Amino acid sequence: MAANGSTTSTVHYKNNPDNLILVAQEVGDSTKADAMWLKNIAGTTLGFEGSEDAWKMTNYGGQPMIYSVDLEEKLAINAIDLNGTTVTPIGFSAPNAGGKYRITLEQVVNGLPYTAILEDKLFGTFTDLTQGDYSFTHARWQAEGPRFALHTMGAALDQPEQQGEATIAYQDGERIMVRLGQESNAQLTIHSLDGRMIRQVQANQTLTSIDMAGTPSGMYLIEVRGSNSHILKVFYQN
């Protein structure tokens, strides 16, 4: 990878932790590449933990940079508790504006692989990196916060239940994210507990984002209408 990297102190484990590795590479030039690591360590957070994490150092020589972000701090190695559903902000920079790049995922795990879905906020798209790479053109991202986010789900969460009700819902900022289980296409309707309809969207993507801005905190019901219709609960806090 890039010549300038980051180091961290050696930590010894009884079992090596699971690692998710994102690699960003310039299309057509394999020498222009960089990587970042997410480690599954129980009890750790997105923020910097000195015994587990490493800052991201600036790359030179035309190299791209990919890193996780916490409060505008860039991390090359980030220990996060990945046993639930997590959303990790992912930053990217490169000197070649307009250049084409590819993001790939490598998993070094002890058991089943994780689901890892890359969100490109510039286009509002979601790509399951376990099914293939994501290619994009590097543009001048002007919005607040990084352009990408990695939505990860542990293998246990990703296994369909007997009734096929493996739909997953969780909050990300002012959004509720929904990943369908065995459904490939479904209508999602969010109701308050007193029966009022709050939002209604069509879900037919890898991951569906539902805007909840301005909605009061509380418990909501998500009605999933498809071949296996069901209802699940989600708590939203604004």
Give residue-wise pLDDT tens across range 153-189. 986 554 544 444 478 999 999 999 999 887 778 999 9
Which of the four CATH numbers 3.40.30.10, 3.20.20.105, 2.60.40.3080, 3.40.50.800 does domain 168-236 have? 2.60.40.3080
Q: Could you report the average pLDDT of every consecutive run of 10 residues in the chain (238 residues)?
A: 47 74 96 96 92 92 95 94 94 92 96 94 95 94 92 69 66 94 87 95 90 95 88 92
Determine how β-strand 115-120 pairs with β-strand 125-128: antiparallel
SS3 at position 97? coil
Q: Give the pLDDT score at 184.
A: 77
Q: Give the pLDDT score at 233.
A: 92
Q: Where are the domains of the chain?
A: 19-153, 168-236
Q: Give the pLDDT score at 155.
A: 65
Contacts of 151 (CB under 8 A, 6+ apart): 85, 86, 87, 115, 116, 117, 118, 119, 126, 172, 177, 179, 207
pTM: 0.86
User: How many CB atoms neighbour CB 125 within 10 A?
Assistant: 14
Q: Give the pLDDT score at 143.
A: 86
Cα-Cα end-to-end distance for the chain:
40
